[in-house]
Amino acid sequence: MKLSRRHLIAAMAALPAAGWAQQPARLDKVTVAGWSKPIVEATPLLVEEDKGFYKAQGIDLAYVPGAGGGDAIRNILSGQADVAFTDPGSLFAALDKGEKLRAIYDIYPQNVFNVVSLKKSNITKPVDLKGKRIGVYSLSSGTRQNLLVLLHQAGLKESDVTIVVTGLLNFAPLLQGQVDATAATDTGLLVGRRRGVGDVNVMEVGRSLNVSSDLFVVREEVFQQKKAVLRRFLHAYRDAAAWMIARPDEAAQLAAKRAIDGSDPAVNLEIIRARNASSVSELTRRQGLGAMDVASLQQAADAYRQLGLIQNPIKVADVVSQDLLPGRAQP
């Protein structure tokens, strides 16, 4: 049957936003282990049913939630997932224990972690945290890892403070006086301010260690055996991230459908804009989304060792691979 011009246009409009290329006949399953539940920040991994970015690259996407970057690492080590959405500190900790891992994509090249306290607490610098109760998302999260960086740079040990696991909504314990300060991300602080946290002091970890906040990491075995699949997965994620940067309003509306914390599209939009900003750097502007700053990661690994957070030297160039990034020449 010959389609009219009107029907042809309608059919083309119904195709996934990721592209009009014919989808492969067989989809390869890729399971991502997240550091969190399916929240607004993870929108590029949540809108597949709406946008089809991954199917367009022959990928059947699945998501396994976690409670921190350490959880994401454990889920790939146990075989429950293929790719970990994790922070560099959790990667360094696993490498320090002898795990064979490979970082393949820089999700957020900017350090988005901070430690927040109420103005009345008069906690303005890391040394003021001594003897205080400090909230973290979980003991395996980047909030704890980055808190330890701040503590060590002030000459403090973890034992000099009391760490309290508060979960993602950790500004309520701060307001209720259950903790004196709380370790969070920029988007966590954004939501806290929307919910009336009031006047706060903010110590940004990025001012002392501006390294990537999150990476995609795989086991070395998976990297060696599934390069073609991983390359297509990264292509799809890059397309989804680029869409979120270009269409933040649409992303905020879809997050209201797909994210467990996405009920308010206005808050979603603020979170998405913050995440979009942390997804780009001078390096990604030159080399494309996902490009990894090996020198910066090496500085971070060295700092973690100097601070006593890991015991063994890590040569970052040996555990980072950029040849699967979109647009890179295939070997």
What fold is seen in the domain 113-207?
A: D-Maltodextrin-Binding Protein; domain 2 (3.40.190)
For 311, residues 6+ apart whose C-beta sits below 8 A from its C-beta are 96, 305
Which pLDDT score is estimated for 5? 40
Q: Of 288, 257, 293, 255, whose CA–CA distance to 274 is shortest?
A: 255
* Euclidean distance between CA atoms 111 and 212, whole angstroms: 5
* Euclidean distance between CA atoms 251 and 5, whole angstroms: 30
Query: Considering only 71-85, 103-117, 197-211, 308-322, which range has the smallest mean pLDDT?
Result: 197-211
Residue scoring higher pLDDT (23 or 63): 63
* Euclidean distance between CA atoms 159 and 111, whole angstroms: 25
Residue pointed to by tokens 């979009």: 276
Which pLDDT score is estimated for 43? 98
Q: Does residue 17 surpass a pLDDT of 70?
A: no
* Euclidean distance between CA atoms 182 and 134, whole angstroms: 5
β-strand 181-185 against 214-219: which pairing, if any?
Answer: unpaired
Residue pointed to by tokens 């997050």: 255
Q: Other CB atoms closer than 10 Å to residue 247's CB: what's the count?
A: 15
Q: Does residue 4 surpass a pLDDT of 90?
A: no
Which pLDDT score is estimated for 2? 37
**What's the mean pLDDT in 72-80?**
98
Please give the sequence-ordered ranges of beta strands (E in DSSP) within the chain, or none if there are none: 28-33, 59-64, 83-86, 101-108, 113-118, 133-136, 162-165, 181-185, 200-204, 214-219
Which pLDDT score is estimated for 6? 39
Give me the percent of the chain exceeding a pLDDT of 70: 91
Q: Does residue 12 surpass a pLDDT of 90?
A: no
Q: Which two tokens stand for residue 191?
A: 């939501």
* Euclidean distance between CA atoms 30 and 2, whole angstroms: 38
Burial class (CB in 10 A: 0-12, 13-18, 19+), 8: exposed
Give start-end residues of each CATH 3.40.190.10 domain in the chain: 17-110+212-318, 113-207
- The number of CA neighbours under 13 Å toward the Cβ of 250 is 13
Q: Does residue 319 surpass a pLDDT of 90?
A: yes
Mean pLDDT, all residues of the chain: 90
Q: Which CATH class is domain 17-110+212-318?
A: alpha beta
The residues facing 164 across adjacent strands are 135
pLDDT class of 49 with cuts at 50, 70, 90: very high
Q: Does residue 294 surpass a pLDDT of 60?
A: yes
